[in-house]
């Protein structure tokens, strides 16, 4: 999946003006070698004028190409472009090529399960990877219908976008699709374990590898219940019925994203088939992804963006609708708390980096640039903007506009202007001005409260640092007279920001004033001094989890901005997490404490004390859950205790006994987690890792073993690991990530020091060889985040300036270096 010429916006617009693409007939033969497969493709299309254009494909060998019966020389294929000289009128193009399977989760990915030796393949054709599977005019606004036939080994099952049937042994044919974009074509083939049912007259199915069958069976009713509930709720919201002939959900191995919204065949990473204990919050996350991908069936698949500058129309809408619909249709009624504590933080962080971009950029020049915008802005900030829009516009008007949009553009393409026009048809508000203020700008606004207290009155001023209008809820809280640890709401009231005048109230000032109390807008919050003191002292006494999440996000932002010391954040966590009832908050706060405060914001000298504070807090949580009433909280505390352990004795005893005293018993995930931490601490060896792999020879076990071995503090092991990651090109995307996760460890600073300088040139070369997925993994997981030093920062900036990293790697490095500079500032400010 090495780098290839990218499609530019101008090229796509020119080709869209020239062509109407009608139909693809694609015949794939997957019975050849372990490395390649055959594709035969016929494309029927019309040219509106005489012109030269091209079609994309990236084969190992192009055998034949004919246009209207006339052969085209295969050697005219230039990298990934086959030139076509067209006359006005109808045309038929036939191509036969040999294509290569992928090991990086792009194109046609091939995976052999180490548990039972069974092989599976699936496509991931987003954003421009269709050309690695079959030739196509690969841009979203050249929709066409598709007929797919697939030849496979006789024990395989084939899944596609539409109902698919086996005609004879190993020969499968799919029903013709409605018009869809090329990036949404999907095929998954292998000896799947399948559970099939029907709902509202449509066939539904869930599928996974055979080795995961018992785990899918255990969760099948939960997954199908969520699927049915969301499906029914969307049909209450949307006037357009579900637009495809079936709905399959396949949990596939080594999948790069969380999921992909292929119409009729959604593919998920198969970590969502849980083989070890998980928390209810993790189950809620799976449910949200199911809801998110189903929303795409309408927004993204039925109506598709015209070009990639409007990717937010896909992702922001599905993100918003996934959380909202899950709240309305299932027992997961606190999903917006999870969004606030996890997804929103992702958006805030991305929006404060130099690589930030508008939710709706005015121009995305090419596909390589477009791929970079699948980030916290397109997902979390965009969903937050839509939530603010619904608050401002009213849900009734919002849904009316959405249904108008579907009706106007079904099975076609649309732009931001089209979307806003549809909304504007149902309101007197100036939606176009709102869109300009929210979707065309960058950065995070800040709302700051100040209070002027008089003997019998108090005046609240909300200062607005930013450019966007906000409609938000201000929450006022008083101390409970019977329990000073608890806060009770005095009242809530909505306000528009910027304020026209300060608010003056009679009586005593509240103990706590929370702007954005229901988290309906997207802005950083700064509390007045008195409210901040109350929050730090009484945070667990705030009655609603969403308000607590707003406060925790405020404290997180203050640490990142140097306005609150990491020590104060940890002190607050120690005081209030033992009383916290919302598991998403516990997971979010402990995660920030462990990965940001301990690993980045405190110096190596202070780090042991920080880790000790985390393990002490986790021990407190473990003690408080001994009665078994809150297994999710206990599991969360056990996980974070393991990850923060500085001495091996306790977790070694747990591993030896096969259980944490009082539970839980150690399942594979916890056993590998302990073994990874012992490897970091130099308290295990390769023999023990091999024995554990014999006990768990699954794909997940293989990844865990690679992570453990990479973490061993042994010079020869580190050298071998580095060579495997950066020079052999044999690791799949998942094995590369697991190895990178193990390699860099703050406990091994001296041992790892020589690799910091090697990282930049080796990562640049790797990204050029192996393509965007590995480039992103190299920039994310293989970056030396522990090395918070001016030298690391200087080397990285030099790399960006002088060494020409690929776009995917450049974006990741720029983000990592900005985070590194922030960590250096925090250390310098706090002296920690």
pLDDT in tens, 595-644: 999 999 999 999 999 999 999 999 999 999 999 889 999 999 999 999 99
Tokens 């949200």 belong to residue: 288
Mean pLDDT for the stretch of residues 144-154: 98
Q: How confident is the model at residue 524 (pLDDT cuts 50, 70, 90)?
A: very high
CA distance 177 to 314: 20
In eight-state DSSP terms, residue 271 is G
Q: 350-372 burial, b if ≥16 CB within 10 A, otherwise e?
A: bbbbebbbbbbbeebebbbbbbb
Residue 759 lies in a domain: yes
Beta strands in 428-573 (DSSP E): 446-453, 457-465, 470-480, 483-497, 503-506, 512-514, 524-526
Give tens-digit pLDDT for 716-733: 999 999 999 999 999 999
At residue 831, does pLDDT exceed 80? no
Give tens-digit pLDDT for 252-281: 999 999 999 999 999 999 999 999 999 999
Look up residue 148 and give its two tokens.
């797919």
Residue-level length of the chain? 832
125 Cβ partners below 8 Å, 6+ apart? 107, 133, 182, 183, 184, 185, 186
- Three-state DSSP state, 161: coil
At residue 832, does pLDDT exceed 60? no
Residue 593 lies in a domain: no
In this structure, the number of other CB atoms found within 10 A of the CB of residue 407 comes to 12
Mean pLDDT for the stretch of residues 43-55: 98
Are 433 and 542 contained in the same domain? no
- Among the listed residues 38, 56, 254, 293, the single catalytic one is 293
- Three-state DSSP state, 625: coil
What is the model's pLDDT at position 500? Answer: 75
Q: How confident is the model at residue 484 (pLDDT cuts 50, 70, 90)?
A: confident
Give tens-digit pLDDT for 543-561: 999 999 999 999 999 999 9
Give tens-digit pLDDT for 339-381: 999 999 999 999 999 999 999 998 899 999 999 999 999 999 9
Are 452 and 424 contained in the same domain? no
Are 435 and 480 contained in the same domain? no
| Distances, alpha carbon 659 to alpha carbons 278, 498, 505, in Å | 16, 56, 57
Are 416 and 385 contained in the same domain? yes
Is 503 catalytic? The answer is no
What is the model's pLDDT at position 3? Answer: 63
Residue 327: which domain range?
Answer: 304-439
Are 322 and 435 contained in the same domain? yes
At residue 1, does pLDDT exceed 70? no
In eight-state DSSP terms, residue 666 is -
Q: How many helices (H) and strands (E) does the chain have?
A: 27, 28
At residue 780, does pLDDT exceed 70? yes
- List the one residue out of 250, 319, 333 whose CA is nearest residue 291: 319
Residue 637 lies in a domain: no
CA distance 385 to 702: 41
In this structure, the number of other CB atoms found within 10 A of the CB of residue 794 comes to 11
Are 457 and 426 contained in the same domain? no
CA 485 from centroid of its chain's CA atoms = 37
- List the one residue out of 233, 149, 157, 214 whose CA is nearest residue 188: 157
Residue 663 lies in a domain: no
Are 211 and 181 contained in the same domain? yes
Give tens-digit pLDDT for 79-130: 999 999 999 999 999 999 999 999 999 999 999 999 999 999 999 999 999 9
- Rounded to the nearest integer, the mean pLDDT of the chain is 97
Span between the terminal Cα atoms of the chain, in Å:
43
Residue 46 lies in a domain: yes
At residue 491, does pLDDT exceed 80? yes
Are 485 and 372 contained in the same domain? no
In this structure, the number of other CB atoms found within 10 A of the CB of residue 185 comes to 24
At residue 320, does pLDDT exceed 60? yes
Count of structural domains, the chain: 4
The CATH number of the domain where 92 resides is what? 2.60.40.1730
Q: How confident is the model at residue 2 (pLDDT cuts 50, 70, 90)?
A: low
Look up residue 538 and give its two tokens.
């009484």
Residue 609 lies in a domain: no
Residue 127 lies in a domain: yes
| Distances, alpha carbon 372 to alpha carbons 18, 309, 383, 482, 821, in Å | 28, 11, 18, 53, 21
Are 376 and 243 contained in the same domain? no
At residue 134, does pLDDT exceed 70? yes
| CB-facing half-sphere around the CA of 437: CA atoms within 13 A | 15
Domain boundary at 532, 560, 588, which?
560
Tokens 């496509």 belong to residue: 123
Are 135 and 255 contained in the same domain? yes
Are 89 and 225 contained in the same domain? yes
Tokens 């049909």 belong to residue: 235
In this structure, the number of other CB atoms found within 10 A of the CB of residue 529 comes to 10
Are 335 and 390 contained in the same domain? yes
């Amino acid at each position: 999946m090495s780098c290839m010429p990218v499609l530019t916006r101008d090229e796509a617009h020119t080709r869209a003006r020239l062509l109407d693409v009608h139909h693809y007939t694609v015949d794939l033969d997957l019975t050849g070698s372990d490395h390649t497969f055959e594709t035969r493709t016929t494309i029927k299309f019309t040219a509106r004028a005489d012109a030269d254009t091209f079609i994309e494909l990236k084969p190992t060998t192009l055998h034949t190409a004919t246009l209207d019966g006339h052969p085209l020389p295969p050697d005219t294929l230039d990298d990934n472009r086959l030139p076509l000289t067209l006359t006005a009128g109808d045309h038929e193009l036939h191509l036969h090529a040999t294509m290569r399977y992928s090991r990086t989760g792009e194109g046609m990915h091939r995976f052999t399960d180490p548990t039972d030796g069974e092989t599976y393949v699936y496509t991931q054709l987003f954003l421009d990877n269709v050309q690695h599977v079959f030739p196509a005019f690969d841009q979203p606004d050249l929709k066409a219908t598709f007929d797919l036939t697939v030849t496979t080994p006789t024990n395989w099952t084939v899944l596609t976008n539409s109902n698919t049937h086996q005609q004879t042994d190993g020969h499968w044919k799919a029903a013709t699709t409605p018009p869809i974009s090329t990036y949404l074509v999907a095929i998954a083939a292998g000896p799947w374990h399948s559970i099939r049912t029907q709902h509202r007259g449509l066939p539904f199915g869930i599928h996974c590898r055979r080795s995961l069958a018992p785990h899918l069976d255990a969760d099948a009713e939960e997954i199908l219940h969520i699927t049915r509930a969301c499906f029914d709720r969307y049909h209450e919201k949307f006037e357009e019925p579900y637009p495809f002939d079936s709905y399959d959900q396949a949990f596939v191995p080594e999948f790069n994203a969380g999921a992909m919204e292929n119409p009729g065949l959604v593919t998920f990473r198969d970590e969502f088939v849980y083989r070890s204990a998980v928390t209810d919050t993790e189950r809620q996350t799976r449910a949200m992804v199911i809801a998110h991908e189903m929303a795409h069936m309408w927004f993204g698949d039925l109506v598709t963006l015209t070009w990639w500058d409007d990717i937010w129309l896909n992702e922001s809408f599905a993100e918003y609708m996934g959380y909202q619909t899950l709240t309305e249709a299932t027992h997961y009624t606190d999903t917006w708390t999870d969004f606030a504590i996890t997804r929103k933080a992702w958006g805030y962080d991305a929006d404060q980096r130099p690589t930030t971009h508008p939710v709706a950029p005015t121009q995305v020049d090419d596909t390589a640039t477009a791929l970079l915008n699948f980030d916290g802005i397109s997902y979390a900030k965009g969903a937050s903007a839509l939530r603010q829009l619904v608050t401002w516009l009213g849900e009734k008007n919002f849904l009316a506009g959405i249904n108008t949009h579907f009706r106007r553009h079904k099975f076609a393409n649309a732009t931001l202007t089209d979307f806003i026009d549809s909304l504007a048809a149902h309101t007197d508000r100036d939606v176009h001005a709102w869109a300009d203020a929210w979707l065309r700008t960058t950065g995070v606004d800040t709302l700051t409260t100040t209070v002027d207290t008089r003997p019998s009155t108090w005046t609240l001023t909300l200062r607005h640092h930013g450019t966007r209008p906000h409609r938000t809820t201000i929450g006022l809280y008083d101390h409970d007279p019977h329990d000073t640890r608890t806060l009770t709401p005095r009242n809530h009231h909505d306000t528009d920001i910027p304020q026209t005048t300060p608010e003056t109230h009679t009586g005593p000032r509240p103990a706590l004033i929370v702007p954005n109390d229901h988290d309906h807008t997207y802005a950083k919050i700064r509390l007045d001094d008195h409210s901040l003191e109350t929050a730090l002292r009484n945070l667990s006494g705030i009655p609603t989890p969403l308000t607590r999440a707003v406060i925790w996000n405020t404290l997180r932002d203050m640490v990142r901005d140097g306005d609150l010391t990491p020590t104060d954040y940890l002190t607050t966590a120690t005081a209030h997490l033992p009383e916290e009832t919302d598991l998403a908050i516990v997971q979010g706060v402990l995660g920030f404490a462990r990965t940001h405060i301990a690993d980045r914001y405190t110096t190596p000298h202070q780090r042991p004390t920080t880790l000790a504070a985390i393990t002490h807090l986790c021990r407190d949580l473990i003690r408080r859950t001994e009665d078994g009433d809150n297994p999710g909280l206990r599991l969360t505390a056990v996980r974070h205790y393991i990850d923060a352990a500085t001495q091996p004795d306790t977790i070694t005893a747990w591993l030896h006994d096969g259980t944490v005293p009082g539970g839980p018993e150690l399942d594979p995930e916890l056993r590998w987690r302990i073994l990874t931490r012992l490897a970091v601490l130099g308290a295990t060896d390769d023999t023990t890792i091999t024995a554990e792999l014999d006990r768990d020879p699954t794909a997940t076990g293989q990844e865990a073993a690679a992570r453990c071995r990479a973490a061993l503090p042994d010079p020869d092991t580190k050298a071998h690991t580095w060579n495997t990651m950066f020079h052999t090109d044999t690791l799949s995307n998942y094995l590369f990530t697991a190895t990178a996760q193990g390699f860099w460890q703050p406990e091994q600073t001296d041992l790892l020091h020589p690799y910091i300088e090697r990282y930049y040139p080796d990562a640049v070369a790797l990204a050029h060889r192996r393509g965007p997925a590995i480039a992103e993994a190299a920039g994310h997981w293989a970056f030396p985040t522990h090395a918070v030093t001016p030298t690391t920062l200087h080397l990285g900036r030099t790399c960006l300036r002088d060494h020409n990293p690929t776009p995917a790697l450049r974006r990741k490095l720029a983000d990592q270096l900005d985070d590194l500079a922030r960590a250096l500032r925090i250390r310098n400010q706090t002296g920690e």
